[in-house]
Structure 1
Amino acid sequence: MNAYIFPGQGAQFTGMGLDLYENAPLAQELFEKANTILGFPITDIMFEGTPEALKETKVTQPAIFLHSVILAKTLGAHFKPHMVAGHSLGEFSALVAAGALTFEDGLKLVSQRAQAMQKACELQPSTMAAVLGLEDAIVERICATIEGVVVPANYNCPGQLVISGDVEAIHKACEALKDAGARRALVLPVGGAFHSPLMEPAREELAAAIESTVFSKPNCPIYQNVTASAIIDQTDIKVNLISQLTAPVRWTQSIQQMVNDGATHFTEVGPGKVLQGLVKKIHKDAETASATLETNL
């Protein structure tokens, strides 16, 4: 069975999407529509901007969403998923690709999400850290002993868990995790504590936007970050999408469940190959590939 997976923040690069724009009329049309919806020429930043300009949350999230969704749409009849999943932001790309959201509504929600997260980041100094080489249960237990806000945020693959919280608590947790045998506990260059209780103001703001958006039944099950299980009901999709900002990304568990449900081939749709690497670490026998424009040319 074919599973399609969609990357999240961090996969951006200068020049992303330019090949689509130049070679697929549909892609050009959708990129121009995106410039109008967003109210600024995001294509200029994607195609020619500096890495610094691309790192701005209000740019990064729509840019990755656009690259992923437009690539999926240019695949046409070649895009035949039995199931989909997206890592954090990528969940919005997956929902649009699977027909649960329109392109326009998906882009508007992603833009609102980015701006709400940016505002939440500015309320309190916060960050994230990657923890390598410890079992999830040990990381969870140590985080629970640290004063302040620090929680597991991204279960990326066995032995790789990202924690999230206030700056002081993250630094304390990193020291404790290294003492417990972590190979590395490295503070990441991010602007805030994504997928933690510190994103509550953003969750509240985005909840209103999600509630007022029309969702359709997706063409195939989506394995959502919050539950790591196959979801097809629109009401459940909305509830999980609202919870996502303050809840952990259960990527390891999602891939394991997709494999249990019959997935044998995972195609990453969007910039980079990070998710393919994680899939291989979660299930070494899985076949992985990148979606490319050439598939449909």
Structure 2
Amino acid sequence: MSKIAFIFPGQGAQKAGMGKDFYEGTETGKAVFDRASELLGFSMPELCFTENDRLDITEYTQAAMVTTSIAMMKVLMEETGIRPDVAAGLSLGEYCALYAAGVMSADDAITTVRKRGILMQEAVPVGIGAMAAVLAMDAEKIEEVLKDIPDAWIANYNCPGQIVISGKKEAIELACEKLKEAGAKRTIMLNVSGPFHSGMLKEAGEKLGEFLDGVEIGRPEIPYVANVTASYVMEKEEVKDLLAKQVSSSVRWEQSVRAMLADGVDTFIEIGPGKTLAGFIKKITRDVKVINIETLDGVKALKESGLE
């Protein structure tokens, strides 16, 4: 029997049309999208299924992604009977992992990330911050270079050879120059609306922590892996503090995957649009099964595979 992890992508994976077949083809999927519309006061189907400018704006993206992934997960579990042994998500995706682990209700996950998106969008005016991907350079070397550059931080440890840095625009541009001088194969400025997972968002994280005081947190029914620590969480008392810190802390995705591998996970099911996390895992190890669920056909294929 497989040891299964449900994993969920973060911001950047969103695309127009995501989840549409789950909405049109299942009552369960439709109910999740309609409930999100009711909770947030705008049409979630319109946001997710049509070409529009709002889908790439953080305060909308986050709620759209979590709604879509939760709808896909609920249909997947209903149709196949598959249950995860552990859950994890990249940045924003951690909220889907919290739902999968029974820590947070779907309603609370959706409304919390809507608040999170607004706080993050408001924290730093557009154009002040920036993010960049650094390719083919060891994390330790990147950390060494950034030590001498104020206002630049590592945002994501994605996989071997891919690190994302974040901070003030001038600091990130300088860091890219210094990193190339130090041997980075390539640096790529990212098209993002803010310096996510940097110290510039510390205040936004603190405000999110205050908001979370009003959110009901349950004890995890299965462990989930926290981005901040890359370790299993099994006590509800840890959750709020970790989520508040997550906004301005590095996302330790590679380390999170390695923690699940060490626990014997041999099957990763990525639930949500795109195949970003599958790509990262394949660069970390080739010794596991990685399955993508982003369409209803994918659910049907998984059901027919007989995975347990």
Q: 1-side partners of 2:139 and 2:274: how far apart?
A: 26
Q: 1-side partners of 2:134 and 2:77: how far apart?
A: 39
Cα offset for 1:240? Answer: 1.0
Q: Is contact 1:73–1:97 with CA below 8 Å preserved after alignment?
A: no
Q: 1-side partners of 2:210 and 2:299: how far apart?
A: 36
Which of 84, 87, 94 matches 2:87? 84
Q: Is contact 1:58–1:115 with CA below 8 Å preserved after alignment?
A: yes
Sequence identity percentage: 40
Q: Structure 1: state its 5+ residue gaps.
A: none
> After superposition, what is the alpha-carbon deviation per residue over 1:150-208, rounded to whole angstroms, capped at 9, x for unaligned?
01110000111000100000000000000111111111111111111100121121011
- Residue 248 of structure 1: aligned partner: 250
Which of 185, 208, 211 matches 1:209? 211
> After superposition, what is the alpha-carbon deviation per residue over 1:257-281, rounded to whole angstroms, capped at 9, x for unaligned?
1100111110001111100010111
- Residue 32 of structure 1: aligned partner: 34
TM-score, normalization: structure 2?
0.93
Map of 1:224-263 to 2, 5 A cutoff?
A: 224-263=226-265
- 1:70 maps to 2:71: yes
- Secondary structure at the aligned position of 2:291 is classed as strand
- Residue 58 of structure 2: aligned partner: 57
- Residue 102 of structure 1: aligned partner: 105
> After superposition, what is the alpha-carbon deviation per residue over 1:69-106, rounded to whole angstroms, capped at 9, x for unaligned?
11111123523111110000000011012211001111
> Higher mean Cα deviation, 123-132 or 34-43?
123-132
Q: 1-side partners of 2:82 and 2:12: how far apart?
A: 24
Q: 1-side partners of 2:270 and 2:83: how far apart?
A: 13
- Residue 222 of structure 1: aligned partner: 224
Q: 2-side partners of 1:244 and 1:79: how far apart?
A: 29
Q: 2-side partners of 1:34 and 1:79: how far apart?
A: 24
- 1:144 maps to 2:147: yes
- Residue 172 of structure 1: aligned partner: 174
- Residue 284 of structure 1: aligned partner: 286
> Higher mean Cα deviation, 156-165 or 124-133?
124-133
- Residue 116 of structure 1: aligned partner: 119
> Higher mean Cα deviation, 242-251 or 230-239?
230-239
Q: Is contact 2:202–2:245 with CA below 8 Å preserved after alignment?
A: no
- Secondary structure at the aligned position of 1:145 is classed as coil
Q: Is contact 1:62–1:107 with CA below 8 Å preserved after alignment?
A: yes
Cα offset for 1:124? Answer: 7.3
Q: Is contact 2:34–2:44 with CA below 8 Å preserved after alignment?
A: no
Cα offset for 1:42? Answer: 2.1
TM-score, normalization: structure 1?
0.96
> Higher mean Cα deviation, 222-231 or 234-243?
234-243
Q: Structure 2: state its 5+ residue gaps.
A: none
4+ residue runs of structure 1 moved beyond 2 angstroms?
Answer: 76-79, 291-297
Which of 93, 103, 107 matches 2:96? 93
Q: 1-side partners of 2:33 and 2:99: how far apart?
A: 15
Q: 2-side partners of 1:230 and 1:201: how far apart?
A: 26
Q: Aligned pair count?
A: 295
Q: Is contact 1:256–1:283 with CA below 8 Å preserved after alignment?
A: no
- Secondary structure at the aligned position of 2:188 is classed as strand
Which of 21, 24, 33 matches 1:22? 24
